[in-house]
Amino acid sequence: MAARRPNDILAHLQSKGFRDHGGPDRKLILYVNGQRTGIWTQVGRHNKDYDDRLLGLMRRQLRLDRLSDLLRLIDCPMDHDEYVAVLRGKGAIVLNDDAP
């Protein structure tokens, strides 16, 4: 069972290009080269650890295929550039510099 603290998730996602847009649960939106993308998730303001169920929901929101990919993103082996490459490969984001 994977469990992660909300504040750790928040800090690590912010270091990967996510910006906090506030709200009752912090809405985090991914920015790439200053461009807002459609990739987002929420991190609760509570202190309860995120269990496999919540991490699974977050994994789907962040368009990752496996829980292990999400954990790599949260725990930092996957950096911003690798994550963006994964999203581009899936067609989950298209940036202005991707135009033909």
- One-letter amino acid of 28: L
| 98 pLDDT higher than 80 | no
| pLDDT tens figures, 31-76 | 999 999 999 999 988 889 999 999 999 999 999 999 999 999 999 9
- pLDDT band for position 97 (cuts 50, 70, 90): low
| 99 pLDDT higher than 60 | no
More confident residue, 100 or 69: 69
Percent of all residues in the chain with a pLDDT value above 90, rounded to a whole number: 81
**DSSP string over 5-54:** -HHHHHHHHHTTTEEE--TTTEEEEEEETTEEEEEEEEE-SS-PPB-HHH
